[in-house]
Structure 1
Amino acid sequence: MNIAELLARYADEGVTLWAQDGQLRFRAPQGRLTDRHRAELRTHKEALLRHLEAAEPALRADPGHRHEPFPLTDIQAAYLVGRTDAYAYGGVGCHAYVELAYPDLDVDRVTSVWRQLVQRHDMLRAVIHQDGHQRVLPEVPALSVGADDLTALPAATAEARMRHTRARLSAREAPTDQWPLFDVHVTRTGRRAVLHLSFDMLVVDHASLRIL
């Protein structure tokens, strides 16, 4: 059995395999992993682990040099190229926009929390250079959180103003070498408060957004 071909076939079938702490792990849509798959994995488990572990580079933390420029990952490089007109249908950044609704929000507390997050998570202080490198800035200005207090406005007017904020932030595209590569904004109406989060995916991914 050719292990590389086996992995490619599983990938085509929507099954992702990886090695973690000496164990074979998988991810697949519900019901996709059949009894045949499970039997095959048991049979070739050791060979799969050897192949997957050999393919993974050894990564070491280097906190002492974390503020020095370092290369982009492949996906970051692809996102950066996609922002240019180098390809047909290019000129578009990879961007995430999220809204979270609450009964109300204290803007000062939101600002304080996000400033703490910026200090805790290095990539929230990162900038991306066109030469294919990124850098975590050791110090940045205090993050400014925008806020609109629309509580005194009629509901229809407040919703219209919020749609304007949504349109602006959902299409946000700023220079990648200028911090910050994200935007945090609060809209308060008489009915609810909305936290608007706008991120360039050069500095976050789906998993890190869930952590934030």
Structure 2
Amino acid sequence: MVRGYSRSNTPIQAIPLFSQLLAFRFLPDDYIFPSVLKACSSAKALEEVFDKMLDPCVISYNAIFTGYAKCSRPNEALSLFRELQVKSLKPTDVAMLIIKESTALIDMYAKCGNLEEAICVFKNMSIRDTAAWSAMIVAYATHGKGYKAIETFEEMRKEGVQPDEITFLGLLYACSHNGLLDEGWRFFHSMSDKHRIILGIKHY
């Protein structure tokens, strides 16, 4: 439906449909995002719709933030993130969204080559879940900071946060690109032996 609207004469209709998808806690994939972004581009709707909202809800913030993240527009995303922090939304909703969007910022800054900003966002997070820790580990790994990736993993374990398959994907990438073969094998074997994580093709 989203794709159909994005190709129609009324592409703006894809935006509320996308918001409904998020409201039902469905995770959009790489098939949906291009259609949403196409709809926003062709109708110039994303910012216009958001700016016309008198009282944007958490779902609305999430939709536009996701758009900024996918378009690699960190300055706009960070500005929106700061605006969200001063809004009088439900604390639980804000906490969940801030964690999610902080993680997206870490990933976005790392992909844009700005590791310092990614580190800054991570350090300023009051709550860090598995996704946030994993994003920081992957950020260090992709920037050739293998030892920092491992150090971050050790801090994660001290905090009592459980790693997942993405965490180890970052660790294995860090080890393989920094010549840390022994450490890489240790992490590889600990996935199934210690953490009961099912190995995927990317881990090999």
TM range, smaller chain: under 0.3
**So what's the TM-score if we normalise by structure 1?**
0.24
Q: Which has more helix, going by share of residues?
A: 2
**So what's the TM-score if we normalise by structure 2?**
0.24
* Relative contact order higher in (CA < 8 Å, ≥ 6 apart): 1
Q: Which has more strand, going by share of residues?
A: 1
